[in-house]
Every structure is written in C-alpha cells, then in structure tokens.
Amino acid sequence: MAAAAAPKRWQFKRPSVIPGFGLTLGFTIAYLTLIILIPLSGVVWRTAALGWGDFWAIATDERTITALEISFGAALIAAAVNVVFGVMLAWVLVRYRFPGRRIVDAAVDLPFALPTAVAGIALAAIYAPNGWVGQLLAPLGIKVAFTPFGIVVALIFIGLPFVVRTVQPVMEEIDREVEEAAATLGATRFQTISRVILPGLAPAVLTGFALAFARAVGEYGSVIFIAGNIPYVSEIAPLLIVIRLEEFNYAGATAVAAIMLAISFAMLFVINLIQAWSRRRYGYGV
C-alpha cells in the first residue's frame, strides 16, 4: 500500500525552456568536435608520439624559444596598443559626428576584408627604408621593416578591428546622462572616465584584447613579408612550423604547434578569469 501511495515523479516531466534544446546541443557538440577538438587532438597525439625526451629537446631549442618569444611578445604588445587606440577610435565614432565618419567607420573593417598577404606586402613597401614612411624614419635611426618592430606594426594592423568592434556596441549603450550625473556630483572628467565609463567597458575591452591577441599569435601572411624572417631575430613561431613541414619534420612541426596551443590556452584562460572577475566586480554583463 505504501508503495502504491508513493508519488510517481516520473509522471511530471518538466518541459524544456528552449524548444529543441537537445537537438541543438547535440549539433553544437558534434560541430565543435569535428572542427576544433579532433584537429587539436591530432596535434596532441602526434606530439605524444615523439616521447618526452625528443619533445623537451625541441621545446628547449634556442630557435624554438626565440620564435615563441617573438610571436607571443609581439602579440601582447600589439594587443595592448590596440586596446588603447581601439577604445579611443570607438569613442570618436560613437560620440562625435564629423564629415567622413562613415568612411572612417568602414575603414576599420578593412583588415577583415583585405587578404593578409596583400596587407603584408603593402606594409613592407610603406615601411621599407625607401618607402613612404620608412624614408622619413630612416634619418631618425628608426627601422621598421625587416625587424621585430615591423612584426608589431603588422599585428596592430590586423588586430585593431577586433577591439573597436567589440567595444563600440557596449559604448553605444552607455547613456550620456550617466556622465552628466557624475559631473553634477562634482566628478572631474578624468574621474568620470576612470570610475564611470571604463568599469562598464572593462569586460568588452578584455574581450577585444583576447580576440586581438589570439588573432595576432597565429598570424602568418601579413608578417612574413615585413618581418625579414631572420632566425633568432625576426622569425615567428608559425613560420618555424612551416619551415619544419617543408623539411618533412612533421613531429617537430606538431611539437611547436602543441607548445603554442598550450601557451595560448593558458593565457586565454587567465584573460577569461580576469574578465569574469571584472563582471562580478562591477556588475556588468551578468
């Protein structure tokens, strides 16, 4: 009797909030598995076949370390520069109306549409010692093309749209009345920017930084034409991978790729943690 009187919980099935959730979730997992997880697993599997000793020898090779330092160092510098000037450019596009604004707004997306090889050739021609800009910098002792400085310039070029297009929609949602209220309460312009505007933009700025950094780390086409590709000086890690493949050293290529994958994942994980903290701290995007 007690068993018969017990409620039959299986009769009350809670409907899904989103119709078709199971189907869409299955499709998402399958898509990510085919496009991302399987290729990355192939890199890890091929690297594991090397053995720890061979992998450590490749990882500690001076040429590999230098290429990784150049790639990640230049990507960090370029992403940081893009954060500063990208936020300024987004501010101008959102808060001001001026002749040619639409042209400037469209020009921001140019690196998205322009083939990277074309961008690299154009930058190399402009910043070469006899180029339009390079010949002006040469008397000052500043050499851009065929140096690590040129790598940073190329990465700034291809990464700027990621910051601008990430920050711009969030900036458009900030009401001007918030700034006016801060000014009414006696806040200076610097205090308004640092305590009212920037906290609201922090998650978007970090997202733009992460996107620009991730794009810059794996950039190849626009860099090889302006970098000079000198080993131990201006050779990036993606180029080193291509060189190893051309030498039919597939194990060495996958080992460098696995190292880049591990470092990129760790840095993006830290950036996501900071982004989540900023959202909880300032109460935006929750």
Phi then psi for residue 145, to 5 deg, are: -65, 145
Which of the residue ranges 7-16, 133-142, 239-248 would you say has the lowest mean pLDDT? 7-16
240-254 mean pLDDT: 89
The Cα–Cα gap between 221 and 76 comes to: 18
Contacts of 165 (CB under 8 A, 6+ apart): 108, 109, 208
For 176-225, write each residue's pLDDT tens digit. 777 778 778 777 777 777 777 887 788 889 889 999 998 999 889 889 99
Contacts of 141 (CB under 8 A, 6+ apart): none
Q: State both tokens at 191.
A: 């205090």
- CB-count exposure of residue 164 (10 Å: 0-12, 13-18, 19+): buried
Q: Is the pLDDT of residue 70 over 90?
A: yes
HSE on the CB side for 83, CA within 13 Å? 19
230-254 mean pLDDT: 89
The Cα–Cα gap between 184 and 213 comes to: 39
For 36-54, write each residue's pLDDT tens digit. 888 888 888 878 777 788 8
What torsion do the CA atoms of 187, 191, 192, 198 make, to the nearest 10 degrees? Answer: -160
Phi then psi for residue 155, to 5 deg, are: -70, -30
Q: Is the pLDDT of residue 66 over 90?
A: yes
User: Which residue in this structure is represented by tokens 């549409």?
Assistant: 113
For 113-130, write each residue's pLDDT tens digit. 888 888 889 999 999 888
The confidence band for 285, taking pLDDT boundaries of 50, 70 and 90, is very low
4-33 mean pLDDT: 67
Q: Domain spans of the chain?
A: 43-282
Give the architecture (CATH level 2) of 43-282: Orthogonal Bundle (1.10)
Pairwise pLDDT comparison (271 vs 17), residue with the higher score: 271
Average per-residue pLDDT for the chain: 84
Q: Quote the DSSP letter at residue 140.
A: G
Q: What is the pLDDT of residue 212?
A: 93
The Cα–Cα gap between 105 and 282 comes to: 29
Q: Is the pLDDT of residue 97 over 80?
A: yes
- CB-count exposure of residue 211 (10 Å: 0-12, 13-18, 19+): buried
Q: What contacts 24+ positions apart, CB below 8 Å, involve 101-108?
A: 108/160, 108/161, 108/164, 108/165
